[in-house]
Amino acid sequence: MEEFASETDSDYTSYWRDWFVSSRGNEYFCEIDEEYLTDRFNLTGLNTEVHYYQHALDLVNDVFDLDCDDEMREAIEKSARHLYGLVHARYIVTTRGLAKMLDKYKKADFGKCPRVICDSHPLLPMGQSDIPHQKAVKMYCAKCEDIYNPKATRHATIDGAYFGSSFHNILFQVYPALIPEKSRARHMPRVFGFKVHVAAALARWQDGVRVEQQRGLREAGVENAAFLEDEGEVADEEDGFGQGGEQGGEDSREGGCRGRWGHGGGEGVKNVHES
Amino acid sequence: MSVTSSQSPESWISSFCSLIGHEYFAEVSEDFIEDDFNLTGLQSQVPMYKDALEMILDVEPSETGSSAISDEEEEEEDDGLLGEEQDEPGRRRTSHETRRHMRAGSDASVIESSAELLYGLIHARFITSRPGIQQMLEKYELGHFGHCPRVFCSGVKVLPVGRTDTPGQETVKLFCPGCLDVYTPPNSRFQAVDGAFFGTTFGCLFFMTFPDLDLSPRSLRHRTAEEDSSAITAQQNNSDTVVTASRSSSLTLPSAPGMPPTAQIYPTRKEEPIILPEQPATINGMATSNVAPGLGKGKIYEPRIYGFRVSERAKGGPRMRWLRSKPLDINEIDESRIWHAKYGGDPDGDPVAPVDETAGEGNGDGDGDGGGEDAVMASVTGQSQSQQTEGISVPAGQGQGQQGAAAATTVAGRRKAPMRRSKGRGRMGEGLDGGGVGGG
């Protein structure tokens, strides 16, 4: 931030936006068109949010020519960054903004999903709130539909409101072809090769939820409700509880047990009769 | 536990563990390595096993070996003089000589990489042993392995694990107990660490070994939230004026009504009060509060556009909620209890009988009997009306036998068998899922 001040203190004041989006830590931002910034309608309400609004706007638009001391200057620059962020949140849901962000998304400029099963699916920045100063930016993965903290600390301080809570969802509404195929694969914790019971039981329950959801979607005539049945572990093999097919689930589970402890069956039956 | 006790302060092991990218490793104690039993089978997996082992243990190379090796030792001078360049095709070497030459030539790199492989494989075994897992606990509690990147896990601490036990296949991953999922370490330096050096078992064994670990992220959540906002304000703070509520709402006018941060939405929208049945303290030896605390209602991301939830039926609607869901009533995944409530018998032979008994107990003794009777009657009425009153358990058993014929009983019997077995095998067995055999 220091270098920022010194740099702009020099005569070099043109292309503020250019400089802003290319400076380190601002990789998530795209450049806002000049036309968009100069249209007052797009800035509605921001004058109450941003201090030194007019000066900040001038700075962003490279027409800043106020003679002032360093302190003032710095304050204005802070405001300019804040203003840029807030306009950015509005800009990226416009057609042109979406296209720009889409380019960055395709280049994985926003990083890749840390979840192993998602196989480095590119992320999108998002905010959990549209109100500034509430939450830092988070990263949305369209494959697992979950949100993650950005990897680098320099990104963890960016305000989430500069991207907004709607942008990433709008992107996929506008470009439905980009919706990734969802995968049923999951990580299955194991101990010495055996599934861990609690995790496996939870996985079976979750699979029940999924099957239920898919059934609902099919009945509603929604297409594209299928899941990619691909590599990785699918906990489905033994369906199980909570899906109606309980008997079937039991059978396969029992089959598994029998294979391992074949001779245990008779003993167990006897035991039941005794009790 | 400390390796350095007997050795010089910079033993191979401790220097290995202090390398950049090796922060996840525990220092395997020399006692563990010196026990041959712990190394069973590794000889066939690691090239130049003996040299590698000597390197790990900081034993001077050589000596202990057979006469063959001492022969080589004598030839060493020749080799040294000849060097690699003079290895002309004309000169025939015995296999011994070749091996010797190889060793002399690429000593450092080959043995070093073998030693790293060997150490990694021993390490995977060590951290499942008592002292090893204890050492990893210390590292875990100090947060050496980092935190879950998932927002709704609120910074639960993670553990390094492998997705396979075969070396050379995948790099180390991080297992989050909050969402039972695995993540790629944030720092690329760990891309060079083999996952097999931690193994598939360690992750879950760790949390089964320390069931009392507090996985609730609450204490941490406050801190991260504060960090978030303070960081933002530090960066954004426009002089010292505070943004007023009216300002911010005017700013976000079109979306203001539905827009409070997600975390705040849940408490207000909660349909109070869902009275849950009594939650079990543990399921299969795992504390209920530690069963995926990062999942379930309120911990699932809800996509919204301008404050409105995206419908499940939309083309881009949410499809992965199941992955992060968890029953509100944890009893729903207590499968053995459900099963026994349905088909009779005690889960694992515990004195606590399912359902009926607990219902009866509430009413005191005399009533308790009555309650029990009723419950049993209810379940029996369908098929055998004849049995009445006393001797409840016996007729009930018979009734069931008649009803389901052989099927019910045998299924019950079979189910019973693994349960009994697991009792015999102790805690470990209980935690394992019988179904895994079929799946694997």
What is the distance in angstroms between the Cα of B216 and the nearest Cα belonging to chain A?
Answer: 17
Q: Which one is predicted more confidently, B229 or A201?
A: A201
Q: What residues are paired with A186 via a beta bridge?
A: A233
Residues 277-316 of B with CB under 8 A from A: 283-284, 286, 291-292, 295, 301, 303-307, 310, 312-316
Q: What is the pLDDT of residue B348?
A: 57
On the question of pLDDT at B170 being above 90, the answer is yes
Angle at Cα B419 formed by Cα B418 and Cα B424, nearest 5°?
90
Angle of the B335-343 helix axis to the B393-425 helix axis, nearest 10: 150
- Residues of chain B by 3-state class (helix, strand, coil), percent to 5: 55, 5, 40
Of the two residues B67 and B210, the one the predictor is more confident about is B210
Q: Which of residues 371-400 of B touch A (CB under 8 A)?
A: 393, 397
Mean pLDDT is lowest, of B4-8, B61-65, B123-127, B406-410, for B406-410
Name the B residues in 165-184 with CB < 8 Å from any A CB: 173, 175, 180-184
Mean pLDDT of chain B: 67
Chain B, window 397-426: residues with a beta carbon less than 8 angstroms from a chain A beta carbon: 397, 409-418, 420-421
**What is the distance between the alpha carbons of residues B306 and B255, in angstroms, rounded to a whole number?**
5
Residue B72 has pLDDT above 60, yes or no: no
Task: Please state the ipTM of this predicted complex.
Answer: 0.78
Closest chain A residue to B408, measured at CA: A269
Does B305 contact A253 at a Cβ distance shorter than 8 Å? no
Give me the pLDDT at residue A118, please.
Answer: 94
Determine, for residues A198 and B291 on separate chains, whether the beta-carbon distance falls below 8 Å: yes
Lowest mean per-residue pLDDT among B92-96, B193-197, B281-285, B326-330: B92-96
Could you say which of A116, A259, A273 has the minimum Cβ distance to residue B163? A116
A11 in B contact zone (CB under 8 Å): no
Count CA atoms closer than 13 A to A54's CA, side-chain side: 2
Minimum distance, in Å, between the CA of residue B214 and any CA atom of chain A: 17
Q: Let me know if B391 is exposed, middle or buried by CB neighbors in 10 A (0-12, 13-18, 19+).
A: exposed
Tokens at residue A160, please?
């989430």
What per-residue confidence (pLDDT) applies to A68? 82
CA B371: distance to chain centroid? 43
Strands B181-183 and B173-176: antiparallel
Regarding beta strands B159-161 and A194-195, do their DSSP bridges make them parallel or antiparallel, or are they unpaired? unpaired
